[in-house]
Amino acid sequence: MLLLVHLTNMLLGLNSLLYHSTVVPKDNMSQIHLKRSGTTKALEYFDSFYGSYFGAKWEKIREGLLSEPKYCAVINNFGDSVENCAQLELEGCINISDELINVDENEDRNKDSTEVIEKKGIFAVDTEPRYQAINDDDKEEMDMNFGRVIVPSKGQDFSILMDYLPATKIKGGENSAEPLDEMKYFQSCYDYEVKVVKGKPISFPAMLNVYTREKGNDEELPEPRHGVLNTSGYYCMDGASILPVLALGINPGQSVLDMCSAPGGKMYVMLQTMHPSLIIANDASKARERRIRNVLKSFVGNLEESLSTKVITSTIKAEHWTELDAFDKVLADVPCQTDRHSVIENDNNIFKPSRSRERITLPETQSGILTSSVRACKPGGTIVYSTCTLSPLQNDGVVHMTLKGLEEEHGIVCEVE
């Protein structure tokens, strides 16, 4: 089995935090107050902890974190797609696929697409660099940090993880310091070795058409129109939301399980590749399942019956998933501390005080979801684990711990790309 852990995590994280500052309470004064306490404390914490973790790369990441999200229009093939592409081009938007393919032709084909995307600057921070270029030594150190998966030594002991969960510190706001403890914790524990392999380059599905504004242009995308089929012309989403789907590399005729599917954006991208024969869009919450159904209603409408992709929604808790070795591809886009949808949506919001315990136990939940996702995947299939946080604990930490558990308890061995 192959497991991809993608740096898209990072891009997702960059966009998500912004929602802390755009939560809009009724009263203006409390809005100002909220902004201060939420973002300032978070940023202090991030400067301290992520700063030491990401090293030379942090300053750029930080700037991304504080910039507006970059939206992309993912064209709906079940609408007037030709007209909608033309309209966006008239508006001056760029065809992302075109950009990537041109890059591929001119540059080393073995480079991974994330790198290419970063290089083209489509999703990159807009302002010119205020920092010195990274020298080669720093770059080496950076590559090392990103290539390494780190794990605690004491088996599946989640209590250790919880002590280090950044969210608790942000919430309390008190000792935003001591991130170095966290670093020590990560660096001192290696006992389960994860096999890391070089991944294949990511290809861009021919039917997927994605447009965005050029670098430096934050202007909103025009409102999508409803066409003759009364379906919406395109879905505007974070560029970063597209990447986990690209990383899955769905081939024509394959079956996909989207384990935490709501609100349905990534399911939508899968559908627009026109590749899957089956998508199970699962989300444990009924309310969130309705959002997936709404996406289908707006973008597919009456065509659903005639699609070559069968889409089934379900509301099974990932940990209770029973269909094993069943899917070619599985996406585990897990809930995490900066899940933007939870932050803007009061319904089922993980930041509610009544759910703080649940929030504290996120790494455990994430690991449970990933375990189920791997077990649901056919041998030789691909699982993508993605989050909307930069926390190494919720990314590499959870992956490493989960892989260890999978091998020890289920005899399943995974490779990480």
Ligand X SMILES: *[C@@H]1O[C@H](CO)[C@@H](O)[C@H](O)[C@H]1NC(C)=O
Q: Which one of the listed residues 72, 85, 388, 414 is annotated catalytic? A: 388
What secondary structure, in 3-state letters, does 121-189 show? CCCCCCCCCCCCCCCHHHHHHHHHHHHCCCCCCCCCCHHHHHHCCHHHHHHHCCCCCCHHHHHHHHHCC
* Long-range own/partner contacts, residues 88-92 (CB < 8 A, 24 or more apart): 88/211, 88/221, 88/222, 88/234, 89/211, 91/221, 91/222, 92/213, 92/214, 92/217
State the minimum distance, in angstroms, from the CB of residue 100 to ligand X.
8
Distance CA 409, CA 384 (A): 21
Token output for 92: 């001056």
Whether 72 is a known active-site residue: answer no
Binding region for S-adenosyl-L-methionine:
260-266, 283, 333
Tell which one of 48, 95, 168, 314 touches ligand X (CB under 6 A).
Answer: 95
Residues within window 98-157 making contact with ligand X, judged by CB under 6 A? 98, 101
Give residues 313-352 in contact with ligand X (rule: CB under 6 A).
none
Which stretch, 11-19, 92-100, 124-132, 307-315, contacts ligand X (CB under 6 A)? 92-100
User: Exposed, middle or buried, 86 (CB in 10 Å: 0-12/13-18/19+)?
Assistant: exposed
Using the contact rule CB under 6 A, the part of the chain among 58-66, 93-101, 144-152, 193-201 near ligand X is 93-101
| Shortest Å distance, C-beta 344 to ligand X | 17
Asked if residue 230 binds ligand X (CB under 6 A), the reply is yes
Per-residue burial over 185-206, b = 16 or more CB atoms within 10 Å of its CB, e = otherwise:
bbeebeebebeeeebeebebbe
Q: Which is nearer to ligand X, 28 or 175 (CB)?
A: 28
Q: Tell me if 73 contacts ligand X by CB under 6 A.
A: no
Q: Which residue(s) pair with 332 in the sheet?
A: 385
Looking at the DSSP bridge assignments, the partners of residue 384 are: 4, 331
Q: Does 76 bind ligand X (CB under 6 A)?
A: no
Nearer to ligand X, 99 or 238 (CB): 99
Site for ligand X in 172-201 (CB under 6 A): none
Selected binder of ligand X within 209, 372, 386, 389 (CB under 6 A): 209
Annotated binding-site positions: 260-266, 283, 333
Give the range of 44-52, 97-105, 330-338, 378-386 binding ligand X by CB under 6 A: 97-105
Contact residues for ligand X (CB under 6 A)?
28, 85, 95, 97-98, 101, 209, 230, 298
**Mind telling me the catalytic residues?**
388
